[in-house]
Structure 1
Amino acid sequence: MHRRLPPLNAIKAFEAAGRRGSLTLAASELGVTHGAISRQIRILEDWLGASLFLRDGRGVALTAQGQQFLLETTRLLDDLARASQKLTGSDAREVLRINAPQTFTMRWLIPRLPRFAALHPEVEIRLAASIDPLERLGDHFDLAIRRGNLGKTSTAFLSETCLPVASPGLLAQRPVTCLSDLAGHTLLHAESIAGLWALWLDQAGAPNIVGAAQLRFEPLYHSLQAALDGVGIAMGPSALVAADVASGRLIPLFPELALVMEDFHMVISQNCHSVRHARLFQSWLLDNGTSTSAEGLA
């Protein structure tokens, strides 16, 4: 029996675009350009003689025919992937090595990882926490995350601002209603992001405030934990303290004086073991980073 099959690359492009609801996200997932995805979808529409997407200049949406075809193509591609794994004995999950700063890993990445695992159970994430320059890591990572630009192939995915944060218990004992009140508190510093207090105070127009005492920690998460314990007031990057602020464990001070920080960037290693899975993770980071950046500190 002769099968009349549509072009497989066009099917893959359509399925990714339909499932993600975006040509850009589909392009990132498959490791091709936005234009390549668009061309493949048009090839498929011409082959089928049917419109799969509505195009109105503001994005793409599936037609009724496209919605039905997406259900079938997703099911068939999943079945094909499972059959291939059984035949090749490759049921073991693909390992993706992520290298990221300690506080970012603990406070932002780990709480969100179950969402990625639910979407991509075939990928096993192996995390290493570090702020070392990438050249020191050699080929021991597939995707690295750092604050600040990482070069030509670097992609920004998470924007942050920074404010002083303190526990409600500490503020109940010694309220902070104006900048001069900070002089009566212990200021908590993190050497891993040195100078945040100086930058913020300078921007706030109070560079001479030094606090009643100073405590310095190497990692940022130690200074934030000290703030949670009521030891003093720390500088809190918005994405990394958002959960504590939302729960009321930390209170941001002077929200109108937020300090803009460098974005978090990600880069895929030239020696990446699985570029496809790294791009899946890259796309997922972009989705989650955009939503987090929009939240800020309430």
Structure 2
Amino acid sequence: MRWPDLPPLNSLLPFEATVRHASMTRAAEELHVTHGAVSRQIQNLEKSLGVTLFERGTRSLRPTAQARRLAAAVRDALDQVDTAAREVARRERGGPLALSCEPTLLMRWLIPRLPDLASQVPGLTVHLSAGGGPVSFDRDPVDVALRRDDFPVPPDVCRSPLFLERIGPVCSPDLAERLRDGHGFAGTGTGGITGGGGTAGAGGVAGVTILHASTRPGAWADWQRLTRRRVEPDGEQTFEHFYLALQAAVAGVGMAIGPYALVHDDLVRGQLVAPFGLVEDGTGYHLLSPQPPERDERIAALLAWLRAQATGL
């Protein structure tokens, strides 16, 4: 190895972001990972270098002089890599279309529908990658991005709406039946796939473990705010990713907030039920692109197919 003294390379991005923000929480938000993931990488880096890089207070985090020096060098190196990557990543028009999609939406909604894409648009080749939050089409090697509009979108990025976000508690049918028998639901909605949010303030969730996801920690609070229903859980459990919380709900571990697109197939198959129905939360999903879709036949074809798939959502 030509660089025997290099620290763990996967720790450098979290480290640089933490120094820049003087906050692990803000670094985690920028990188779309959990606070714990950033903390572990910082610890790995400090262990590798044999130095303490931050002065940790009760509510403060101050990078040391050594940390600021290393962070500046990391930024310079990343700038050089970024410039080289943009030159290498120039793709010929008409080649494969690079699509970035939020991880849970990619796993639970988009990938199961890819056979239909190959059938309906046989000339289109799509390269998929998982990603969330803001995307820079100048910097990132992607052509389009499928995102929920929970962050500011630059004015020069085109937004093509696909479907509205609708949320509600979901659980396994067996768990729902046990809760009904034991009066764990203090009043319920329709329980159907397309049911509404029920009467505001009429009952709520009780006697069940509620499941959280670190990547959308406010989901239960959002649902309570929208429906004015109460939540009185027997316990709570947090998973690092949304798809893990939803899979735990399918397994009967507890009840999770299910965005409709992410649980649609499970509701249709009967693996999940939505006892209180679903309610719009004011957000929606869009296809982001650096130019109007009609200027690139690949993007236009993908958008038309996505909208056809979204008609039932």
Q: How many residues align?
A: 197
Letter in 2 for 1:240: L
Instruction: Summarize deviations over 1:63-118 as a string: whole Å, max 9, x none.
Output: xxxxxxxxxxxxxxxxxxxxxxxxxxxxxx83111000011111111121212211
Letter in 2 for 1:109: L
Give distance in 1, aligned partners of 2:137 and 2:236: 32
1:185 corresponds to which residue? 208
2:269 corresponds to which residue? 247
1:122 corresponds to which residue? 123
Instruction: Summarize deviations over 1:97-149 as a string: whole Å, max 9, x none.
Output: 10000111111111212122112222211100111421398231011011017
Residue 226 in structure 1 maps to residue 248 in structure 2: yes
- Structure 2 gap segments, 5+ residues each: 1-93, 188-202
Shift of 1:162: 0.7
Q: TM-score, normalised by structure 2?
A: 0.57
Give distance in 1, aligned partners of 2:133 and 2:167: 23
Secondary structure (helix, strand or coil) at the match of 2:168 reads strand
Alignment of 1:85-234 (within 5 A): 94-135=95-136, 138-148=139-149, 150-152=153-155, 153-175=158-180, 176-178=184-186, 182-207=205-230, 209-234=231-256
1:64 corresponds to which residue? none
Instruction: Summarize deviations over 1:150-171 as a string: whole Å, max 9, x none.
Output: 3441111112311100101212
Give distance in 1, aligned partners of 2:304 and 2:139: 24
User: Is the 1:167–1:229 Cα contact (8 Å) retained in structure 2?
Assistant: yes
User: Is the 2:137–2:143 Cα contact (8 Å) retained in structure 1?
Assistant: no
> Relative to structure 2, which stretch is displaced further, 144-153 or 233-242?
144-153
Change in Cα spacing, 1:261 to 1:227, as seen in structure 2 (3 Å) is: farther
Residue 235 in structure 1 maps to residue 243 in structure 2: no
Give distance in 1, aligned partners of 2:301 and 2:280: 32
Secondary structure (helix, strand or coil) at the match of 2:100 reads strand
> Relative to structure 2, which stretch is displaced further, 102-111 or 169-178?
169-178
Give distance in 2, aligned partners of 1:234 and 1:96: 34
Percent identity over the alignment is 32
- Structure 1 gap segments, 5+ residues each: 1-92, 294-298
Give distance in 2, aligned partners of 1:189 and 1:178: 21
Shift of 1:286: 2.0
Secondary structure (helix, strand or coil) at the match of 2:249 reads helix
More helix by share: 1
Give distance in 2, aligned partners of 1:138 and 1:275: 19
2:297 corresponds to which residue? 276
Instruction: Summarize deviations over 1:16-47 as a string: whole Å, max 9, x none.
Output: xxxxxxxxxxxxxxxxxxxxxxxxxxxxxxxx
Runs of 4+ that moved beyond 4 A: none
> Relative to structure 2, which stretch is displaced further, 105-114 or 209-218?
209-218
Change in Cα spacing, 1:127 to 1:137, as seen in structure 2 (3 Å) is: farther
Change in Cα spacing, 1:266 to 1:128, as seen in structure 2 (3 Å) is: same
2:284 corresponds to which residue? 263
Change in Cα spacing, 1:259 to 1:107, as seen in structure 2 (3 Å) is: same
User: Is the 2:176–2:275 Cα contact (8 Å) retained in structure 1?
Assistant: no
2:6 corresponds to which residue? none
